[in-house]
Amino acid sequence: MSRVCELTGKGPMTGNNVSHANNKTRRRFLPNLNDVTLQSEALSRGIKLRISAAALRSVDHRGGLDAYLIKAKDGELSANALKVKKEVVKALATA
């Protein structure tokens, strides 16, 4: 399972550990990923995603998963999230 957020595309970054003696060794900064189930009002069911804590706050700020997916760019979304977005758009178009 890759360490990439399904909604924002945020992934690991690299940098240095710097000691008191200014020795530098390479390290990885991993995103704060959480397995969550978000409720979709358009689909009337829960969607399981692995997203970062920042993405979870963004979903709450935009007013839910459906509103977030409609505004999200397709390039940032994972294949699973893109499939859910198409389902939501189709469900809202028929309603």
Query: 36-86 pLDDT, tens per residue?
Result: 999 999 999 999 999 999 999 999 999 999 999 999 999 999 999 999 999
pLDDT at residue 88 tops 80: yes
Total domains present in the chain: 1
CATH number (domain holding residue 32): 2.30.170.40
Please report the pLDDT score of residue 95 as a whole number: 81
Instruction: Note the pLDDT tens digit of each residue in 2-47.
Output: 899 999 999 999 999 999 999 999 999 999 999 999 999 999 999 9
Please report the pLDDT score of residue 51 as a whole number: 97
The reply to whether 8 falls in a domain is no
The reply to whether 1 falls in a domain is no
Is the Cβ–Cβ distance between 27 and 15 less than 8 Å? Answer: yes
Integer Cα distance of 66 and 43 in angstroms: 9
Say what the pTM is. 0.87
The reply to whether 51 falls in a domain is yes
The residues, ordered by sequence, that sit 6+ positions from 12 with a Cβ below 8 Å of its Cβ are: 3, 28, 29, 30, 31
Please report the pLDDT score of residue 12 as a whole number: 97
